[in-house]
Amino acid sequence: MVAKNSPTPLPGSCAACAVRPFALFRVVPQARVGEIARVRSAVRLVRANEAIRDSVFTLYAGWAFSWTTTPDGRRQILDFHLPGDLVERSEDGAEVSALTDVSFCVLAKDRLCEFMGRDPGLALSYADGLVRDRARLRERLTSLGRRDALGRVSHLLLELHGRLARRGGADRSGAPLPLKQAHLADALGLSVEHANRALAVLRRDGVASFQKGRLDLLDRTAMEELAGWSTAPAPPVLTRVGA
């Protein structure tokens, strides 16, 4: 249960932060990086499968996920969080857990609000992240509402691949994905067994293979077909921050 080979790196100075180009603070010019440090209230490391209690943070390394549970005890995964993502806890009864070992920068709510109140660009960067979250949730809603198991699995795998690729964490043919099949199932509203069967079909048909923490895209065209993939998500309507 403990990290073995490569220990999870801890975030260092904001000025040299590797994930900042993808993160909330990407809009802060180099000259004002010092102001960011005053918003960061702590740096933290949490082990895989542990709950994260901090309510606002920027993920630096590793994956996390948000989830709720229905009264009858079943889990619904609401979103996966990748390095650079801003994560907010408890906007409802949802919890956030570490999927792998993770490290992140905890942000002080009040100071962040104050910063955003002073810097509209930052507030818009925040809004931009929310718009992306919303777009992703809408896609997933469409999956759960109107796609069968094969389509849902294909769609989620393509989504995760795309998000990783945008951060340089994937190449065209595949990417490392630290998920278990149970995570896929709980994100897609499927039973673990059925998610497994869908993955087996993808493998059998030479479409994609997801094994041992690695996704391989064998036939992207076929996979997009199965997923009902809708080209690339368009840029947000309002907030066009950063690159």
Partner DNA sequence: CGAGTTGTTGATAGTACTCAACTTGCGTGG
Partner DNA sequence: CCACGCAAGTTGAGTACTATCAACAACTCG
The entry of DNA, a copy of itself, none near residue 109 (CB within 5 to 8 angstroms by kind) is a copy of itself
Enumerate residues 70-89 that contact DNA by CB under 7 A. Answer: 74
Instruction: Give, for 45, the enclosing helix (H) or strand (E).
Output: strand 40-46
Q: Which amino acid is at 13?
A: S
Is residue 218 close enough to count as binding DNA by CB under 7 A? no
The residue from 95, 100, 111, 133 that contacts a copy of itself (CB under 8 A) is 133
Residue 184's closest CA among 222, 152, 225? Answer: 152
The first and second tokens of residue 12, run together, are 């260092």
For DNA, the closer CB: 114 or 148: 148
Query: Is 189 an interacting residue with respect to DNA (CB under 7 A)?
Result: yes
- Give the Å distances, CA to CA, from 178 to 70, 81, 190, 239: 25, 12, 19, 31
Q: Are 32 and 63 in contact (CB under 8 A)?
A: no
Question: What mask, x for binding a copy of itself by CB under 8 A, covers residues 63 to 82?
Answer: ---x-x-xxx-xxx-xx---
- Site size with a copy of itself, rule: CB under 8 A: 61
**Number of other residues whose CB lies within 10 A of the CB of residue 171:** 11
Which of 88, 174, 184, 195 is the binder for a copy of itself (CB under 8 A)?
Answer: 88
Six token digits for residue 217: 């895209």
Report in angstroms how near the CB of residue 210 gets to a copy of itself at its nearest.
Answer: 20
Minimum gap (Å) between residue 184 Cβ and a copy of itself? 12
